[in-house]
Amino acid sequence: MSVVMITIATLVVLGATAAVILYAAAQKFKVYEDPRIDQVEAVLPAANCGGCGFPGCRAFAEALVKADDISTLLCPVGGAAVMAQAAGILGKEAAATAPMVAVVRCNGNCDVRPKTNNYDGASSCAIAASLYGGDTGCSFGCLGLGDCVDACQFDAMYMDEKTGLPVIIEDKCVACGACVKACPKIIIQLRKKGPKSRRIFVSCVNKDKGGVARKACEVACIGCGKCEKVCPHGAITITNNLAYIDDEKCKLCRKCVEVCPTNAIHEINFPPRKEKTTEEKTEEAPAN
């Protein structure tokens, strides 16, 4: 009997002593962590994609809590909704941001951009780009080996086998920018998603002179300047034989799409055009 008592007593004393030491240690070495970090992290998407520029959602939450002005910070996955929630927790102002989406600025599929040679090296755009200009006459266009698709963590991209070009699934794309970084040719760009997901962009990055570009690819931008002239908003600029549409200035009037002789300018998610007679009206409306 006494053995049992002694055992219990020993364990109680031992436990109590350990508890006192642990409590003292916990007090002494306590690290204060802002409880808001946990709260903010809880509203973040937990994708850990790095699209915000921080290594994971926790680090971004810490940055949000720490920064006085969070208007420069953005979680591209969560977008304005999540940023507003986070801002609400922190009592700070989040900048109003338009949702973005990745676009592929190359439309040189197998039919319009004839092959001039064959690449049989390692299947990686980065390696191919470090070796040569590509298997067509265009040294700017898509290499078609899918580094962007490999980089996408949201299953928002796939390689179209028919065209040999990557396709972005708009609904899944969170504009984290991983594909933009992965593309050695700098073809993919994050652009404003636009009202009703409507947007217009030049689907070409070829800086060669018109004739050279056209010879390499039927749908290349030849830098003719027609779009620049027709644009009523000054949104289009041509540098190095390549047109670029500034998505801040573009009012989606679609005039440029019509004048482009090579169909290099793409309009996305617009309703089909009406007959010639009513066209004038529909175009004027958004312009004014």
Partner 1 sequence: MLKTFSIGGIHPAENKLSAQNPIATLDLPAQAIVMLAQHIGAPAEPVVQKGDIVKTGQLIAKASGFVSANIHAPVSGTIEKIDDVADASGYKRKAIFIKTDGDEWLETIDRTPDLKKEISLSPAEIIQRIADAGIVGMGGATFPTHIKLAPPPGKKCDILIINGVECEPYLTADHRVMLEKGDEIMVGIAILMKALSVNKAIIGIENNKPDAIAHLNKMAQAYQGISIMPLKVQYPQGGEKQLIDACIGRQVPSGKLPIEVGAVVQNIGTALAIYEAVQKNKPLIERVITVTGKSVSTPGNYLARIGTPMLSLIEASGGLPVDTGKIIGGGPMMGKALTSIDIPVTKGSSGLLIMPDREATRQPMQNCIRCAKCVSACPMGLEPYLLMVLSQKGIWDRAEEEKVMDCIECGSCSFTCPSQRPLLDHIRLGKNKVGQIMRSRTK
Q: Which is nearer to partner 1, 138 or 227 (CB)?
A: 138
Residue 11 to residue 70: CA distance in whole angstroms? 53
Query: Which one, 56 or 99, has the nearer CB to partner 1?
Result: 56
Which CB sits closer to partner 1, 126 or 230?
126
Other beta carbons less than 10 A from residue 194's beta carbon: 20
The residue (of 23 and 132) whose beta carbon lies closer to partner 1 is 132
CB of 72 to partner 1, least distance (A): 23
DSSP state of 227: H
- Round the CA-based radius of gyration of the chain to a whole number and report it: 28
Minimum distance from CB of 242 to partner 1 (Å)? 13
Q: Is 75 annotated as a binding residue?
A: yes
Q: Report, in Å, the least distance between residue 53 CB and partner 1.
A: 17
| Residues 243/221, Cβ–Cβ less than 8 Å | yes
Closest by Cα among 129, 132, 164, 135 to 149: 164
Torsion of CA 132, 135, 138, 144, to 10 degrees: -100
Give least dist CB 188 to partner 1, A. Answer: 19
Range list of H helices, 29-110: 35-43, 57-66, 79-90
Confirm or deny that 217 is annotated as ligand binding.
Answer: no
Q: Is 125 annotated as a binding residue?
A: no
Q: Judged by CB, which is closer to partner 1: 120, or 280? A: 120
Q: Toward partner 1, which CB reaches closer, 212 or 230?
A: 212
Name residue 232's amino acid: P
Close Cβ partners of 269 (under 8 Å, ≥ 6 residues apart) = 194, 196, 197, 198, 199
Q: How far is the CB of 168 from partner 1 (least distance, A)?
A: 23
CB 204 within 8 A of CB 220: yes
- State the minimum distance, in angstroms, from the CB of residue 141 to partner 1: 11
Return the number of the residue (123 or 278) whose C-beta is nearest partner 1. 123
Q: Is 227 annotated as a binding residue?
A: no
- One-letter amino acid at 216 equals A
* Least distance between partner 1 and beta carbon 102 (Å): 21
Neighbouring CB atoms inside 10 A of 39's CB total 15
Distance CA 20, CA 149 (A): 56
How long a stretch of residues is the chain?
Answer: 288
**Binding positions for partner 1, rule: CB under 8 A:** 116-117, 120-122, 124, 126-127, 130-134, 139, 208-209, 212
Enter the tokens of residue 254. 């679609």
Binding residues are 49, 52, 57, 75, 138, 142, 148, 152, 173, 176, 179, 183
Binding residues for [4Fe-4S] cluster are 49, 52, 57, 75, 138, 142, 148, 152, 173, 176, 179, 183
